[in-house]
Structure formats: C-alpha cells, structure tokens
C-alpha cells in the first residue's frame, strides 16, 4: 500500500513539474529553452521558437494526463518516458556546444544534468506502473 501511495506522489509531482515546465516554455523561460534546441537543426530563430512552443504544449498535455488520466496511467507513463528520450538530444547539444542556460554554466553542471535524464525516464515508467507492464510484456 505504501508503494502505491509513493508511486502516486511521484506521478503527481512529475505531472505538476511537466505542467510548470510547459508553461515556462510558453512564457517566462522561452529564450532559455531555445538554448536546448539541438544545434543540428537549422539555426533559424522561428524554427527554434516553434520547437520550444510545441514541446511546451506537449509537456502541459503529458503533465495533465499524468495527474488526471488514471485509466490510462501506463500509456501516459510510456508516452512521458518516450518524450524524455526524444528531448535528450537537446540536452546533449547543450553540453557538447557549451551553451549556458538554466544555471548550467559549466561543462560539469551540463554533464551532471545529462545523468538525470535516465532517472526521469524511469520515474515516468515506475510512477505509472509502466515498468511492470514492460517487464511482463517482454518476459512472455
């Protein structure tokens, strides 16, 4: 019972953080999020802005789903984990191109940030039960 409660708390915290991050993408941290757009994409300001805005909308959507869509927790956890994987190249780009944003103003800080991405992926899977679903699916 305690495990279920802990999973729910983590799920709600992750969902709330996603909603907050999505709002930040659309408003007060928009320029800083542009620093995480991978540099292998065209360096066009409009494209970078569309990338930030669209990822913000996705983050808000996934955050709300994490909080409210109890019937589809596993699907939501899988989608959020996939999202974290898909945005990881932006974090790698920030590290390899030495781009300062979000207080990540040294190579060490940017590298440590990279180490947290797998924890986010696992948190999305664990808090929704998607980890057990995947284990069961692949052990058949």
Q: Record the pTM.
A: 0.90
For residue range 34-59, list pLDDT tens digits in order. 888 887 777 778 888 999 999 999 99
Query: Quick one: pLDDT band at residue 1, thresholds 50, 70, 90?
Result: low
For residue range 15-33, list pLDDT tens digits in order. 999 999 999 999 999 988 8
Quote the pLDDT of residue 39. 79
Q: Which residues contact 22 (CB under 8 A, 6 or more apart)?
A: 55, 56, 57, 58, 59, 60, 61, 63
Work out the average pLDDT over 83-98.
94
Distance between terminal CA atoms of the chain? 27
């Amino acid at each position: 019972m305690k495990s279920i409660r802990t999973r729910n708390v983590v799920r709600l915290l992750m969902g709330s953080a996603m909603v907050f991050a999505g709002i930040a993408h659309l408003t007060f941290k928009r320029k800083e999020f542009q620093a995480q757009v991978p540099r292998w994409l065209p360096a066009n300001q409009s494209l970078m802005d569309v990338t930030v805005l669209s990822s913000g909308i996705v983050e808000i959507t996934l955050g709300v789903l994490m909080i409210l869509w109890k019937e589809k927790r596993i699907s939501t956890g899988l989608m959020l984990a996939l999202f974290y994987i898909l945005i990881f190249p932006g974090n790698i780009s920030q590290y390899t191109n030495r781009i300062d944003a979000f207080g990540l103003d040294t190579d060490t800080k940017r590298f440590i940030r990279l180490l947290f991405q797998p924890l986010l992926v696992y948190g999305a899977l664990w808090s929704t039960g998607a980890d057990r679903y995947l284990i069961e699916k692949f052990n058949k």
